[in-house]
């Protein structure tokens, strides 16, 4: 039974990783048209360095993802704290409102943002993309930080109060340090969500400036440059490493 399970799981893993591995391999192949035999070459990575558009788009993605991480984590942590430590009438409603961004197809969210920003003059562009990304990241941040808050006994904050700490002191000296692994995990999560986000960025990108996923999409549609392979390889390695970091930090998170 064990053997069977492992074989099947192996097959599943193969299915999941095959295309990615092929793509990564092709990024190092000299041929532009995926012709075999395989000759190792970094030519596409070098070409990447000269591709202004892709580089600019990469920079935009990183920049937006970082700011998104900061904003979403801050806003989300505050809200998560309110949910974890207080009971109030609107709580249920507010928690329900976290669902739309992740359950409604991003196509609809993206197009509605496009309409609204267009109409109200906010317009398209990197700032619009940032607005959208934070909205998408918030539910994840609130869930991640919320889970960590739940694990953290409220008695710790109560103990701090009995020892004379004001609510602010207690938050700063007790809650925040203990929460840190969860907050960091949430920030990395938010970064990844923004960095990988395509649909919303696609609709909100202004002609000329966009994020990396959007650039890649356009390039694929237009006919295709092998540098895409190179940059895709880099992206996927970045995304996966980020997620590994989150998993490590969060799963074994607790006392460092």
CB pairs under 8 A, 24+ apart, for 10-13? none
Q: Which is nearer to other proteins, 46 or 173 (CB)?
A: 173
Q: Which is nearer to other proteins, 56 or 74 (CB)?
A: 74
Q: Which is nearer to other proteins, 126 or 213 (CB)?
A: 213
- Output the smallest distance, CB 29 to other proteins, in A: 11
Q: Which residues have a Cβ under 8 Å from the Cβ of 236 and sit 6 or more positions away?
A: 20, 23, 24
Q: Which is nearer to other proteins, 19 or 40 (CB)?
A: 19
> Residue 29: helix, strand or coil by DSSP?
strand
- Output the smallest distance, CB 49 to other proteins, in A: 19
- Output the smallest distance, CB 215 to other proteins, in A: 10
- Residue 223, by phi and psi: left (phi above 0), alpha (psi -120 to 50) or beta? left
Q: Which is nearer to other proteins, 54 or 192 (CB)?
A: 192
SS3 per-residue string spanning 110-121: HHHHHHHHHHHC
- Output the smallest distance, CB 100 to other proteins, in A: 6
CB pairs under 8 A, 24+ apart, for 42-50? 44/226, 44/227, 44/229, 44/230, 45/230, 47/225, 47/226, 47/227, 47/230, 48/227, 48/230, 48/231
Q: Which is nearer to other proteins, 42 or 78 (CB)?
A: 78
- Output the smallest distance, CB 240 to other proteins, in A: 5
- Output the smallest distance, CB 81 to other proteins, in A: 6
Sign of dihedral through CA atoms 115, 118, 123, 127? negative
């Amino acid at each position: 039974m064990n053997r069977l399970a492992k074989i099947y799981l192996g097959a599943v893993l193969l299915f999941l990783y095959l295309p990615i591995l092929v793509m990564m391999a092709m990024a190092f192949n000299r041929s532009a048209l995926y012709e075999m035999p395989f000759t190792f070459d970094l030519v596409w990575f070098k070409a990447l360095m000269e591709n202004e558009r892709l580089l600019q788009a990469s920079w935009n993605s990183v920049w937006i993802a970082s700011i998104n991480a900061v904003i979403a984590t801050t806003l989300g942590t505050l809200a998560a704290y309110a949910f974890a430590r207080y009971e109030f009438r609107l709580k249920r409603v507010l928690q329900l409102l976290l669902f739309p961004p992740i359950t409604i197809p991003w196509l609809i969210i993206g197009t509605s943002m496009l309409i609204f920003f267009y109409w109200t003059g906010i317009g398209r562009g990197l700032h619009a993309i940032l607005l959208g990304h934070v909205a998408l990241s918030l539910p994840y941040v609130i869930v991640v930080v919320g889970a960590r808050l739940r694990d953290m006994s409220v008695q710790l904050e109560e103990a701090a109060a009995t020892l004379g700490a004001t609510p602010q002191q207690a938050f700063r000296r007790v809650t925040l340090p203990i929460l840190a692994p969860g907050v960091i995990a949430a920030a990395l999560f938010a970064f990844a969500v923004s960095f990988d986000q395509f649909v919303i960025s696609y609709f909100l990108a202004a002609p000329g400036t966009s994020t990396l996923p959007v650039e890649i999409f356009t390039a694929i549609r237009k006919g295709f440059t092998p540098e895409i392979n190179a940059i895709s390889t880099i992206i996927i390695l970045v995304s996966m490493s980020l997620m590994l970091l989150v998993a490590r930090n969060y799963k074994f998170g607790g006392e460092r």
